Amino acid sequence: MKALSSEWILWLSALMVLIGIILMAAAFYVRARARQVGALVQKLLALVHEHHGDPLKFIPASLPLLRQAGAARVMVELQWFGQSLNFTDEAKQRVDQSRCESHAIEGQEIVLRAVICPRRGLRGEQAELYDILARLWLEVLAAQVNGRLAQIHFSEQQLKRYELFYKHDLKNLAQFMHLLSGQMRRCDTPDCSHALLERLKKVLPDLEERAGRILQHLGKQSADDWSAVEEVSLGHLVKMEARALDLPVEVEGDAEVYVESVTFQHGLRNVMENFKHHPGTRHVRALIETTPQKVILRLTSDALTGRLSEMERARMFEPFWTTSRSGMGLGLYIARQNFHKACRARLDVEQLDDNRWAFVIVCPRLGAPAPAQS
Amino acid sequence: MSTRRILLADDDGALREMLAMTLEMEGYRVAQADDAEATISALEKGAFDILLLDMGMPPHEHDIQEGLRVLEWLQRHPRDLKCIVLTGQDPERSAYRAVKAGAFDYLSKPVKENALLQAVERAGLFLDNERRLRQEEQTQKVTLTLPLGQGVKPARNMAEEQLLRQVLEETGFNIHETARALNMNRENVYYLLKKYGIRRPERADTSS
């Protein structure tokens, strides 16, 4: 009986030790997993911070982390200011299709479609780790895209306010000119002329300041109110803008196009300013090609060399993205809008055969506008 | 030659001077204000026949809120004048709001000199005949913007309030004169002042 009891105690002790070892191992495992979750979340947040909420940098940088957390397939389709970008990461493991999560945002300038799927066989805390990371990643991505859309919306509002300010000044100036012209016609005595002159002396400083303000804005804004559709020589427009920017230009070919000339010129100026500020530009080459449906203008220089990645192409037309210290990064973004408005033309960049690239403006051949009905 | 008094409210000094000269050459006497505050202050201090009002003034040159502030002040403190809006704001947005707030006419900048002078003349003509109507027939023209579908009681109250405000402004808040003009006793005038929350302005002649 005694021997039996001591044997039991021995077994019991051994069992207790085993349970203790299992509990310790479990605690160690849970702690390690918790550390892994914490580390991955921290890395993800560090990426957000590091890339300043820029989805184009954040997406490729975050893909290895997602793979580590158990993602077998990540697909992001991004329409970024007219350029299409795809980011895909596929692991060799089989995908658990039933647990795929997707998110879509459709803005005017940015469209996002993201899909993330785990690998098959993820269970327990591994599945939870994946869920946490996948949801956090989707939330961060949505917040970044929405933030960028809000920024654009806000900027557009600011531009509109800007436009309102100069229109207000312009209308006042036009009103002033109307009244001045009336006064000049009616003033036929020396006294009246003297009074008019005295009044003009008084108001000229204010008038000069306002006129200066309008001119300053006109250099930046579109001219939608007074821009008429007319037939113009594309070669001539290029030469005029090059002359205004003091850029040597060589034009090959020519074509007549029906455009809102002032708006088109603003677009052209925004593009050509890039050559002006690009170090190494000796002269600009403008190649004009005509097909029955469209007129193509390619603008290039010796300085535009190398191969452009999809990402670089997307960045080029993104507002507020610039490599210049002095620029705001709005030039090409506004230029693209101006070309569309001027003649439904499309501004893009194109890789040329000789390791150079060019800005390309494709203008559909529109007929002359119908005469306005009286 | 006209001797009407015109108050010009526009933030653009150059344009204001040119408008003033154009109107002065037609014989109008012109005072100037460069923002809503100065306009209201001028209306409080002096009597004008016509107010030529720019809707976009500092600090909101791109919006109509400063012009509306003046028009709304005029609704609360009726003056014997006609208000012509002369503005560069988008007519689709601002004309409706201006007319709703009591503007007599609306001109969009830039307006031809003749059109401007005709508008001023037309406003003067209406003003003269309304004054004549009051003098000869002892009737007061009241313009109201009324909600539809709420019966006649709100209309009656609004007409009553508007009439009372007009007469009070004309009599310089003299309760005795107001009661006489409205053929009421003074107690009834005090009752209506309380009913419509009308307070005696500090600057007004308080003798009654």
| H/E segment holding residue A100 | none
Q: Does B163 touch chain A (CB under 8 A)?
A: no
pLDDT band of residue A328 (cuts 50, 70, 90) is low
Q: What is the pLDDT of residues B120-147, one digit of tens each?
A: 999 999 999 988 887 787 777 777 777 7
- Residues of chain B with pLDDT > 90: what percent? 35
CB half-sphere exposure, B130, CA atoms < 13 A? 15
Determine if residue A96 is left, alpha or beta; phi over 0 gives left, psi from -120 to 50 gives alpha, anything else beta: beta
Q: Does A22 touch chain B (CB under 8 A)?
A: no
ipTM of the complex: 0.72
Q: Does B67 touch chain A (CB under 8 A)?
A: no
Q: What is the pLDDT of residues B95-111, one digit of tens each?
A: 888 988 889 999 988 88
Backbone angles phi, psi at A18, to 5 degrees: -60, -45
- Residues of chain A with pLDDT > 90: what percent? 11
- pLDDT of residue B42 exceeding 50, the answer is yes
What pLDDT is recorded for position B82?
A: 94
Calculate how close chain A gets to B73, using CA atoms only, in Å: 24
Distance between CA atoms of residues A10 and A7, nearest Å:
5
Calculate how close chain A gets to B132, using CA atoms only, in Å: 33
**By CA distance, what is A181's nearest residue in B?**
B113
A33 or A154, greater pLDDT: A33
Average pLDDT, chain B: 86
Distance between CA atoms of residues B4 and B12, nearest Å:
23
| One CATH from 3.30.70.20, 1.10.1740.10, 3.20.20.140, 3.30.565.10 for A163-364 | 3.30.565.10
Calculate how close chain A gets to B84, using CA atoms only, in Å: 16
A238 or A276, greater pLDDT: A238
- pLDDT of residue B168 exceeding 80, the answer is yes
- A56 contacts A80 by C-beta, under 8 angstroms: yes
Q: What is the pLDDT of residues A26-52, one digit of tens each?
A: 888 878 877 877 788 888 888 888 887
**Cα separation values, B56 from A212, A218, A331, B68, Å:** 20, 21, 30, 9
Q: Please give the order of strands across the beta sheet that includes B82-87.
A: B29-33, B5-9, B50-53, B82-87, B105-108
Helices and strands in chain B: count of H runs, count of E runs: 8, 5
- pLDDT of residue A304 exceeding 90, the answer is no
**By CA distance, what is B57's nearest residue in A?**
A168
Q: What is the pLDDT of residues A330-372, one digit of tens each?
A: 678 888 888 888 888 888 888 888 888 889 999 887 655 544 4
pLDDT band of residue A16 (cuts 50, 70, 90) is very high
- A241 contacts A265 by C-beta, under 8 angstroms: yes
Residue A199 to residue B17, Cβ atoms within 8 A = yes
pLDDT band of residue B60 (cuts 50, 70, 90) is confident
Mean pLDDT of B27-45: 93
- B174 contacts B207 by C-beta, under 8 angstroms: yes
**By CA distance, what is B89's nearest residue in A?**
A168
- B10 contacts A168 by C-beta, under 8 angstroms: no
Q: Does A68 touch chain B (CB under 8 A)?
A: no
Calculate how close chain A gets to B13, using CA atoms only, in Å: 7
Which positions in chain A touch B110 (Cβ < 8 Å)? Answer: 171, 174-175, 177-178
pTM (global) more than 0.90:
no
- pLDDT of residue B85 exceeding 80, the answer is yes
- pLDDT of residue A323 exceeding 70, the answer is no
Distance between CA atoms of residues A117 and A101, nearest Å:
6
- Residues of chain A with pLDDT > 70: what percent? 84
- pLDDT of residue A97 exceeding 80, the answer is yes
**Cα separation values, A288 from A237, A272, A282, A361, Å:** 12, 15, 20, 10
- pLDDT of residue A215 exceeding 80, the answer is no
Task: Say which residue the tokens 């009372």 belong to.
Answer: B164
**Strand B5-9 relative to strand B50-53: parallel, antiparallel, unpaired?**
parallel
Q: What is the pLDDT of residues A242-283, one digit of tens each?
A: 877 778 889 999 988 888 877 888 888 888 888 877 767 778
Residue B56 to residue A204, Cβ atoms within 8 A = no
What pLDDT is recorded for position A188?
A: 81
Mean pLDDT of B161-189: 87
Distance between CA atoms of residues A144 and A54, nearest Å:
7
